[in-house]
Amino acid sequence: MDVVAYVIGAACIDTLDRSCVDVCPVDCISADEGDRMLFIDPKVCIDCAACVEPCPVEAIAFEPDLRPEWKEFTRINRMHFEDPAAARELVESWVSRQ
């Protein structure tokens, strides 16, 4: 069953300043070496919204409120915690379509 959580969208790509990581009370925002953005683990996120305001590029939103053009980032965030390489490919694919 899908969990409704906060999602990091495309604006994070190549920004990566990690302001969100510092405020998350459950440490559910992460990335691997070489990733071009950070991801929120939907299974751990407690929907507290603490990460939204510190993000300098407004990349983070509650999933139902995510910009329509960023809808696939719901899947990309979740996928990072299941298959990081696949998530990275989806990010590259998104970038190549811009």
Which residues contact ligand SF4 (rule: CB under 6 A)? 6, 8, 12, 15-20, 23-24, 26, 28-29, 38, 40, 45-51, 54-55, 57, 59-60
Q: Which is nearer to ligand SF4, 18 or 67 (CB)?
A: 18
Q: Shortest gap between Cβ of 57 and ligand SF4 (angstroms)? A: 5
Cα separation, 97 vs 91, in Å, equals 10
Cα separation, 56 vs 40, in Å, equals 17
Reference 90, options 37, 45, 44, 41; nearest CA is: 37
Q: Shortest gap between Cβ of 30 and ligand SF4 (angstroms)? A: 10
